[in-house]
């Protein structure tokens, strides 16, 4: 795979796009939320079980635990969730992305919420330009939400395409199972997820490697653990 300086700049630009969407979304919900939404989110996450369930449902809806984690960080940043409440949501998000990986492995289908990002901007822009202060804040949140997913999509397209070139990692087949090797593969799983910006894609890659006999099941399991760490 050839990766030039221009490709690096595109990657940095995509990362900036993603962070900008996160910033707009965080500021929009902070302005629009008010006490009522704060109380609703607090009630949803006060019980640890419901916090995990909330993270699971959000990830099932948006099909991206990375996005769920970013949204959770935005809520904490806006003062809508505490750190303890957000931890359960992130655990649920990681459970949700594992279920998504099984769906991908069986059906090869994954809903791409980026397809509705532009329609979301079409809805949010009039709210931002024409609405009152409350409506403007919700319009800002919707546009930030759309930009967030456009940024994620741009990141996935800008990184080296490991997903379609799994043979790059075929050298991993020479490792034997052991404590240090397992820890190494946790680190590799984390790194691969950071590169491809999708734990579901990283898990799919792990499935390919395990299916081809490049790595045994215990090392594949260690990679999956690392991929969930990488998402966070």
Tens digits of per-residue pLDDT, 106-137?
654 455 667 788 898 999 999 989 878 888 88
The owner of tokens 């822009």 is 125
pLDDT at 109: 47
Which residue ranges in the chain fall short of pLDDT 70? 1-3, 30, 33-43, 60-64, 100-113, 159-174, 197, 200-201
Give the separation between CA 120 and CA 134, rounded to whole angstroms: 18
DSSP string, the chain: ----HHHHHHHHHHHHHHHHHHHHHHHHHHHHHHHHHHHHHHHHHHSHHHHHHHHHHHHHHHS-HHHHHHHHHHHHHTTSS-HHHHHHHHHHHHHHHHHHHHHHHHH-----GGGGHHHHHHHHHHHHHHS-HHHHHHHHHHHHHHHHHHHHHHHHHHS---TT-GGGGGGGGGPPPSHHHHHHHHHHHHHHHHHHT-HHHHHHHHHHHHHTTSS-HHHHHHHHHHHHHHH-
pLDDT at 122: 93
pLDDT at 159: 65
What is this structure's pTM?
0.57
pLDDT at 33: 67
């Amino acid at each position: 795979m050839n990766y030039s300086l221009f490709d690096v700049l595109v990657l940095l630009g995509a990362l900036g796009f993603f962070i900008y969407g996160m910033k707009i979304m965080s500021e929009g919900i902070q302005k629009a939320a008010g006490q009522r939404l704060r109380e609703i989110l607090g009630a949803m996450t006060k019980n640890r079980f419901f916090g995990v369930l909330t993270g699971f449902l959000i990830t099932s809806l948006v099909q991206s635990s990375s996005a769920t984690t970013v949204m959770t960080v935005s809520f904490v940043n806006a003062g809508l969730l505490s750190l303890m409440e957000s931890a359960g949501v992130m655990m649920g998000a990681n459970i949700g992305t594992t279920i998504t990986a099984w769906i991908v492995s069986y059906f090869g289908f994954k809903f791409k919420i980026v397809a509705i990002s532009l329609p979301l901007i079409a809805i949010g822009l009039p709210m931002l330009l024409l609405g009152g202060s409350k409506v403007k804040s919700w319009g800002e949140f919707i546009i930030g939400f759309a930009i967030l997913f456009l940024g994620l999509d741009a990141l996935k397209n800008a990184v080296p395409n490991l997903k379609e070139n799994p043979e790059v990692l075929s050298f991993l087949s020479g490792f034997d199972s052991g404590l240090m090797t397992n820890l190494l593969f946790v680190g590799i799983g984390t790194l691969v997820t950071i590169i491809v910006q999708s734990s579901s894609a990283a898990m799919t890659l792990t499935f390919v490697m395990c299916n081809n006999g490049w790595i045994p099941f215990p090392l594949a399991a260690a990679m999956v653990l690392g991929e969930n760490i990488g998402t966070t």
